[in-house]
Amino acid sequence: MAKRDYYDVLGVSKGASADEIKKGYRKKAKELHPDRNSDNPNAEAQFKEANEAYDVLKDADKKAAYDRFGHAAFEGGMGGGGGRPGGGFGGGQGDFGSAFSDVFDDLFGDFMGGQRGGGGRQRASRGSDLRYNLRVSLEDAYAGMQKTINVPTSVSCDACNGTGAEGGSEPTTCPTCSGMGKVRAQQGFFTVERTCPTCSGLGQIIKDPCKVCSGAGRVEKDRALSVNIPAGVETGTRIRLAGEGEAGMRGGPSGDLYIFIDVADHKLFERDGTNLFCRVPVSMGTAALGGSIEVPTIDGGRGRVQIPAGSQSGRQMRLRNKGMPALRGGGAGDMFIELAVETPVNLTARQKELLREFEELSEENNPESSSFFSSVKSFWDSMKG
Ligand SMILES: [Zn+2]
Ligand SMILES: [Zn+2]
């Protein structure tokens, strides 16, 4: 018996939208519902036919298969009667029953005066959010930048038009399950159904798999996205790109893409919020006599810092507004120069001689040492007592 075209069954055109298909189905289902057609012997069969058509056309995957292969997409020997279409497609989501509960929820909702359009709408699911870790230099975090990142996504394989079969040849119906995707086995008194081992439930096998995608029908492809990294980002800053995540299922919205920023350590600068710290070694002579030193700034420029005579290690000097910009506006931080007085090494005999002479003249020149040793002395004195 030749099967009727599913679109004809629902009284909609081939290009009908999901909404139109649903409307067409609801209309037919009401007309043909067995409870209302006790005097029409064909109604039950037609009702089943409408359910079958809707079961296929409401499901994006099955619809695509039907559009491509017609009834052949679901044809198979088992079960008989053709009451259960599409066991093969849909990736093993327990198709049996789900279509019917959908149908009946819908119908009973209507017949019992339930709200229109209440049910069956949550099937579209949102795509997953994706995370992308992006490491940036401190200089880039300072200046902000436009960065192109490559996000891997699955796209339909061009070489085989997504069929997975080499050279545009069409996949063939699985001989084990005759396209149903499921096989039945007898276990004691029960007949159990399980996923077809030959085609893994797809209902089709590919004799000559596409060399590009190895028969998957999809390939990983990098999608180039231009991302604006604002000035002032820190490690842990997240940048959300709405809708750039994984594609949704069945027309659901796409997920979001989150860029997680990780700012690399810098050789010269250490960051604390918007402030920067730069440790600058100075010679003992400069620290004692005072002088001017040149220091780097994060924008790649130079700054001059006056070292007061008699500066100690750890002394900080501030360069205003030479720190990092605040991410959400509000001006820049400061840069702090921290002096590290360096003790000279590898002295020549002449230098040693000069330093010894210097030491002999330096009784009064180390107030910190003097005060420390007087504290030590009184500590020992007190312990004696
Ligand atoms: Zn199979
Ligand atoms: Zn391919």
Taking the centre of ligand 1 as the mean of its atom positions, its distance from the CA of residue 47, in whole angstroms, is 28
Q: Same structural domain for residues 230 and 140? A: yes
CATH of the domain at 35: 1.10.287.110
User: In this predicted structure, what is the pLDDT of residue 336?
Assistant: 97
124 belongs to a structural domain: no
Least confident residue range of 18-27, 94-103, 345-354: 94-103
CA of 183, nearest ligand number: 1
Q: Same structural domain for residues 182 and 280? A: no
pLDDT band at 280 (very low <50, low <70, confident <90, very high): very high
Q: Same structural domain for residues 137 and 229? A: yes
Q: Same structural domain for residues 148 and 232? A: yes
119 belongs to a structural domain: no
Q: Same structural domain for residues 332 and 360? A: no
- Among 51, 80, 112, identify where a domain stops: 112
86-141 pLDDT, tens digit per residue, is 333 333 333 333 333 343 333 333 333 333 333 333 345 677 788 889 999 999 99
CA of 200, nearest ligand number: 1
223 lies in which domain range? 130-263
304/62: higher pLDDT? 304
Residue that has been written with the tokens 């940036």 in this structure: 136
Q: What is the mean pLDDT of residues 189-211?
A: 82
* Radius of gyration of the chain from its Cα atoms, rounded to whole angstroms: 39
Taking the centre of ligand 2 as the mean of its atom positions, its distance from the CA of residue 383, in whole angstroms, is 88
Mean pLDDT for the chain?
80
CA of 199, nearest ligand number: 1
Q: Same structural domain for residues 208 and 145? A: yes
Q: Same structural domain for residues 29 and 108? A: yes
Taking the centre of ligand 2 as the mean of its atom positions, its distance from the CA of residue 209, in whole angstroms, is 8
- Among 228, 244, 263, identify where a domain stops: 263
CATH of the domain at 162: 2.10.230.10
Calculate what percentage of the chain has a pLDDT beyond 90: 37
* Domain count for the chain: 4
Q: Same structural domain for residues 52 and 162? A: no
Residues around ligand 1, an ion, CB closer than 5 A: 174, 176-177, 196, 198-199
Q: Same structural domain for residues 321 and 357? A: no
CATH of the domain at 295: 2.60.260.20
- Rounded to whole angstroms, the Cα distance separating 91 from 105 reads 23
- Rounded to whole angstroms, the Cα distance separating 91 from 182 reads 11
Residues around ligand 2, an ion, CB closer than 5 A: 157, 159-160, 210, 212-213
Polymer length of the chain = 385
236 belongs to a structural domain: yes
Closest CA to 274 of 236, 316, 317, 322: 322
Taking the centre of ligand 1 as the mean of its atom positions, its distance from the CA of residue 211, in whole angstroms, is 22
285 belongs to a structural domain: yes
34/135: higher pLDDT? 135
Q: Same structural domain for residues 136 and 254? A: yes
Q: What is the pTM of this model?
A: 0.52
Taking the centre of ligand 1 as the mean of its atom positions, its distance from the CA of residue 305, in whole angstroms, is 78
Taking the centre of ligand 2 as the mean of its atom positions, its distance from the CA of residue 158, in whole angstroms, is 6
Q: Same structural domain for residues 57 and 99? A: yes
pLDDT band at 251 (very low <50, low <70, confident <90, very high): low
Q: What is the mean pLDDT of residues 178-199?
A: 82
Measured over the CA atoms of residue 316, residue 319, residue 320 and residue 323, the dihedral's sign is negative
**13-22, 276-285, 326-335, 357-366: range with highest mean pLDDT:** 276-285
Burial grade of 46 (CB within 10 A; 0-12, 13-18, 19 or more): middle
CA of 196, nearest ligand number: 1
